[in-house]
Amino acid sequence: MDITPDQIVYWRWGAATLNATIVWTWVVMAVLAVGSWAITRGLTAHEGMGRGQNILEGIVSLIERQIRDVSDQDPQPYLAFVGTLFLFISLSNVLGIVPGYHPPTGSLSTTAALALCVFVAVPVFGIRRQGLRRYLGQYLQPSIVMLPFTIIGELSRTLALAVRLFGNVMSGTVIAALLLGVAPLIFPVIAQMFGLLIGVIQAYIFAILAMVYIASATRAHAGPDGSDASTQKDGHAHG
C-alpha cells in the first residue's frame, strides 16, 4: 500500500516525475477552474440569479466573513490566497469518495508546498501592509533576545501546518483502506463520511491558521499607549 501518492509515478524523466499527486492536483484545479468559469459566465447583479451563483456567493461571503473575523481587516487582499487554500484543500479531500482517486493533500509534498506558500505569504503580506522596516521590527519585539525563538516559531508552525494536514488526510485514507480489508460492508462507508467531515475541517483549519499567521504579520504590535500601529497608519492615511 502506498503511503503517499508521490510514490505512484506515471512518467519519469530524470529528476522530473509525473506522479499521482501532480495529476490529481491538475484534476482538482481543472474542476475548480472550469466550474468557476461555467458558473460565473452568467452572473447577474439583478433578480433571477442562478443556483450556482447563489452557492458561489455564499461560499465567497463565508470566506470573506471568516477573514474579517480573524484579521479584523478588509478581506479583499487575502481573499484569493486564503480562499484558494480552503477550496483546493476542501475539494481535494471531498473528492476522496471517488473510487480510484488519490487526494493530493495526502502527499507531504503538497502540504509542504502549501505550507511554504503560507510561509512566504506571511512576510509578503506583512511587508506590503506595514513596510519592510516595521515588519522586520516585529521580530525584535519585545526584545532582541526573542529573535531566535521567533524564527524557530515561524519555521515550526510551517512544519506543523504541513504535517497536520498530511497526517490527517493520509491517516484517513489509510484507515479507509484498512477497514475495507477488515470489514468491507458498513464501516468503510462510515469511515468515508468521517473522512469527508475531517477533510473539510482540515481545510478550514489550514486556511484559518494561514489567515491567523498573515493577520499577526499584518497587524502591528500595540504601541506604548495601547494603540495599534497599523490602525494609526490607516487612520493617518485615510485622514
Partner 1 sequence: MLTDWFTVVVQILNFLILVWLLRRLLYGPITRVMAERDARIQAEMAEARRLREEATAEGERHQALVATFESERDARLAAARDELEAWRHTHMQEVRAEVEGLRQRWQEALQQEKHAFLDDLRRRAGREILAVTRSALRELADVDVEARIVSRFLAELGGIPPADRDALAAAALADGGKVHLRTAFALPDTEQARVTEAVTAALGPGLTVTAETAADLVGGVELRAGGLKVAWSIDDYLTSLEEALTEAFGADQKAGDDGEAARPPAD
> What is the contact surface with partner 1 in residues (CB under 8 A)?
3-4, 6, 15-17, 19, 21-22, 25-26, 29, 32-33, 36-37, 40, 43-46, 53, 56-57, 60-61, 76, 79-81, 83-84, 87-88, 104, 107-110, 112-114, 116-117, 166
Q: Backbone dihedral region of 46: left (phi > 0), alpha (psi from -120 to 50 degrees) or beta?
A: beta
- Tell me whether residue 9 or residue 136 sits nearer to partner 1 (CB atom): 9
Q: Are 183 and 189 in contact (CB under 8 A)?
A: no
Closer residue to partner 1 in complex, CB, 210/215: 210
Of 76 and 150, nearer to partner 1 (C-beta) is 76
| Identity of residue 32 | L
Cis bond leading into 142, ω under 30°? yes
- 12: enclosing H helix or E strand: strand 9-13
Which CB sits closer to partner 1, 33 or 140?
33
Torsion sign, CA atoms 221, 163, 33, 49: negative
- Separation in Å, CA 69 to CA 4, 66, 87, 89, 219: 35, 5, 19, 21, 13
Taking the complex as a whole, how short is the minimal distance between the CB of residue 204 and partner 1, in angstroms?
17
